Amino acid sequence: MASLTFSVGSGNSFLLTRAALSDHSSPSNTRDGFNPLKKAGNSRKRLTSTNVASPPLPAVAAPHPPTRKESDDRSHVAWTSVRQERWEGELHVQGQIPLWLKGTYLRNGPGLWHIEDYSFRHLFDGYAMLARLHFENGRLIAGHRQIESDAYKAAMKSKKLCYREFSEVPKPSNFLSYIGELANLFSGASLTDNANTGVVHLGDGRVVCLTETQKGSIVVDPDTLETIGKFEYTDTLGGLIHSAHPIVTESEFLTLLPDLVKPGYLAVRMEPGTNERKVIGRVDCTQGPAPGWVHSFPVTEHYIIVPEMPLRYCAGNLLKAEPTPLYKFEWHPESKAYMHAMCKASGKIVASVEVPLYITFHFINAYEEEDGDGRVTALIADCCEHNADTTILDKLRIQNLRSYTGKDVLPDARVGRFRIPLDGSAYGELKAALDPNEHGRGMDMCSINPAFLGRKYRYAYACGAERPCNFPNTLTKIDLVEKKAKNWHDEGTVPSEPLFVARPGATEEDDGVVISMISEKNGGGYALILDGITFEEIARAKFPYGLPYGLHGCWVPKK
Ligand SMILES: CC1=C(/C=C/C(C)=C/C=C/C(C)=C/C=C/C=C(C)/C=C/C=O)C(C)(C)CCC1
Ligand SMILES: [Fe+2]
């Protein structure tokens, strides 16, 4: 493979592979009419090879021209649009990456929160950027690239918002276009396909980026980060939205499709190698005008757990031109909160229990509780729970994230543990699984050892808090048996979701590494590898420039 070595300002050297050079001359590599190549001169000190047909991607480019609103903010790189559309290079590793770690970590998330001088409102509005860390023989090649959704391409072309994002809605130019816009909303045509939330590695090898719209399922190449095309569901199940977090294993893809017309949820399964989802069963909502928001859900070995939160979808809010306090949702405490359990094999509902009010976006894991005779008596489901307080959604507005004053404004969160009895009881329980002070009362963006999915487990990895803060700023390893946490913190940084990768042949649940990407206050950033057992740093590698905060990742093992 042809390679180019650059020395950049920091003294690190970076490698550009042929893959990264392949199509960079396409106009889509410049944004807002800005060509990063033109401004890269000062930061590229030495070019040791010129053997390329077309000009290379810059190792480091000047940031996109700051917009008025962005430059007014004292913004952390975590909340600042990415400098350039794509980059790839080898990173200098401090410490030792285990030689057994072979494969690619992918992380999805919003990377661009503005169009021209218009700044987006909410963290979840940003156009998707996929980042990559490829590990082989102790070396680390990193890269990032914008996902070329229709929403992103249209915005870059027309320099305006063209699709409905989480909080942003395109402005109709006149009354007729407003009517057209309403029609488009009902057909789903105006909803975004900006796949900025998760990324999954299907059993058949395909890698798909996801958001909450079904049309926002986009297949990418994990090596080049190129957008391959839409993942088209070939069934006739219809609907517009789904859970952003399907449960994906080598043998299946399970997800929930909320039904906004007749409030409920369809649980569906898709087999590797197919694009066809088949219905397992249906849960009808117990109360309320619409199904609860189902960003994620847990499974046990034999059951799918369907959460019914009192934070419910709201068709009216989907239609509104301006964001409402809870965006596309409404808080309905009077409709109560439920947890339903569906048998994976038969689709039958085996329990529907009322539970205390809760707010969760991310379930951690679930398992079956057995009595002494091996009979399943209850299901246990753990989640990152926000004390039934919806204010976290408001805290995630870009303006709030950018204007941190040093005050402790992050609302408290905990590991919420549900117990769903299977004896016909009408009520379930929800309690903190450990004292939330163990993890600074911050708790979100979690992962586990995937071999323990749906099984009794001990360890969870997540972002926690060292206060004061306005956003989770630690990585935490939760021991659910000892009810203790080990915390990692680097002052002024924002770490993203820790992802656990097991050591091949490991017999202990926490034998492996934890990967995270860190955004620094000074504009920098680095990849971080912690030991899964000690939770101590074993390696880090600085990026040429910091990347914005990312949401969720996945591991693609070396073939
Ligand atoms: C809801 C609809 C849409 C978009 C939904 C999106 C993009 C949801 C993304 C949710 C995420 C990333 C939740 C993450 C939560 C993280 C938390 C709470 C972290 C807390 C830290 O302390 C559309 C697709 C726009 C349209 C239909 C409705
Ligand atoms: Fe999520």
pLDDT recorded at residue 22? 30
What is the number of the ligand closest to the CA of 296?
2
Query: Which parts of 117-235 fold into alpha helices (H)?
Result: 150-158, 175-187
Which atom in ligand 1 lies closest to the alpha carbon of residue 240?
27
Strand order in the sheet with 484-489: 444-447, 459-464, 474-479, 484-489
What is the number of the ligand closest to the CA of 109?
1
Q: Is the dihedral of CA 205, 211, 212, 213 positive or negative?
A: negative
Give, using CA atoms, the residue closest to atom 23 of ligand 1: 166
Nearest in space to 142 (alpha carbons), one of 558, 540, 549: 540
Which atom in ligand 1 lies closest to the alpha carbon of residue 196?
7
What is the number of the ligand closest to the CA of 123?
1
Give, using CA atoms, the residue closest to atom 18 of ligand 1: 361
Two structure tokens written together for 435: 């004292």
Q: How far is the CA of 306 from the centre of ligand 2 (A)?
A: 16
Element holding 455 (H helix, E strand): none
Residue 350: burial class (beta carbons within 10 Å; 0-12, 13-18, 19+): middle
Say what the ipTM of the complex is: 0.91
Give, using CA atoms, the residue closest to atom 25 of ligand 1: 166
Which atom in ligand 1 lies closest to the alpha carbon of residue 411?
22
Which atom in ligand 1 lies closest to the alpha carbon of residue 165?
25
Query: Which parts of 13-99 fold into alpha helices (H)?
Result: 18-21, 36-39, 68-72
**pLDDT, block means (10 residues), the chain with 559 residues:** 28 31 30 28 24 38 40 74 97 98 98 97 98 98 98 98 95 74 77 98 98 98 98 96 98 98 97 98 94 98 98 89 91 98 98 98 98 98 98 97 96 99 98 98 98 98 98 99 98 98 98 98 97 98 98 96
Residue 388 contacts residue 358 (beta carbons within 8 Å): yes
Is 362 labelled as part of a ligand binding site?
Answer: yes
Nearest in space to 240 (alpha carbons), one of 197, 181, 191, 313: 191
| Pairing outcome for strands 139-146 and 198-201 | unpaired
Is 386 labelled as part of a ligand binding site?
Answer: no
pLDDT recorded at residue 173? 74
Distance, in Å, from the CA atom of 245 to the CA atom of 312, rounded to the nearest integer, reads 17
Distance, in Å, from the CA atom of 278 to the CA atom of 168, rounded to the nearest integer, reads 33
Distance, in Å, from the CA atom of 210 to the CA atom of 207, rounded to the nearest integer, reads 10
Pick from 328, 415, 466 the residue to mutate for probing ligand 1's pocket: most ligand atoms within 8 Å of its CB.
328
Distance, in Å, from the CA atom of 182 to the CA atom of 485, rounded to the nearest integer, reads 49
Is 295 labelled as part of a ligand binding site?
Answer: yes
Pocket of ligand 1 (CB under 6 A): 124, 164-166, 191-192, 197, 211-213, 241, 244, 295, 328, 361, 392, 442, 444, 472, 551
Q: How far is the CA of 328 from the centre of ligand 1 (A)?
A: 10
Which atom in ligand 1 lies closest to the alpha carbon of residue 329?
1
Q: How far is the CA of 320 from the centre of ligand 1 (A)?
A: 17
Beta strands in 96-180 (DSSP E): 103-107, 110-112, 114-115, 118-119, 127-136, 139-146
pLDDT recorded at residue 559? 84
Two structure tokens written together for 468: 């004061």
Q: How far is the CA of 243 from the centre of ligand 2 (A)?
A: 9
pLDDT recorded at residue 175? 74
Distance, in Å, from the CA atom of 100 to the CA atom of 507, rounded to the nearest integer, reads 15
Which atom in ligand 1 lies closest to the alpha carbon of residue 194?
24
Distance, in Å, from the CA atom of 63 to the CA atom of 545, rounded to the nearest integer, reads 9
Give, using CA atoms, the residue closest to atom 20 of ligand 1: 444
Q: How far is the CA of 166 from the centre of ligand 1 (A)?
A: 7
Which atom in ligand 1 lies closest to the alpha carbon of residue 293?
1
Q: How far is the CA of 321 from the centre of ligand 1 (A)?
A: 18
Give, using CA atoms, the residue closest to atom 12 of ligand 1: 197
DSSP SS3 for 515: strand
Pick from 194, 361, 470, 549 the residue to mutate for probing ligand 1's pocket: most ligand atoms within 8 Å of its CB.
361
Distance, in Å, from the CA atom of 139 to the CA atom of 15, rounded to the nearest integer, reads 12
Nearest in space to 111 (alpha carbons), one of 143, 72, 85: 85
Q: Is the dihedral of CA 18, 19, 22, 25 positive or negative?
A: negative
Q: How far is the CA of 431 from the centre of ligand 2 (A)?
A: 22
pLDDT recorded at residue 316? 87
Pick from 212, 362, 392 the residue to mutate for probing ligand 1's pocket: most ligand atoms within 8 Å of its CB.
212
What is the number of the ligand closest to the CA of 198?
2
Is 245 labelled as part of a ligand binding site?
Answer: yes
Distance, in Å, from the CA atom of 473 to the CA atom of 289, rounded to the nearest integer, reads 37
Q: How far is the CA of 155 from the centre of ligand 2 (A)?
A: 24
pTM over 0.80: yes
pLDDT recorded at residue 37? 25
Q: What is the DSSP letter of 157?
A: H
Q: How far is the CA of 123 from the centre of ligand 1 (A)?
A: 9
Q: How far is the CA of 211 from the centre of ligand 2 (A)?
A: 9
Give, using CA atoms, the residue closest to atom 19 of ligand 1: 444
Q: How far is the CA of 196 from the centre of ligand 1 (A)?
A: 9
pLDDT recorded at residue 74? 53
Residue 559: burial class (beta carbons within 10 Å; 0-12, 13-18, 19+): exposed
Give, using CA atoms, the residue closest to atom 10 of ligand 1: 124
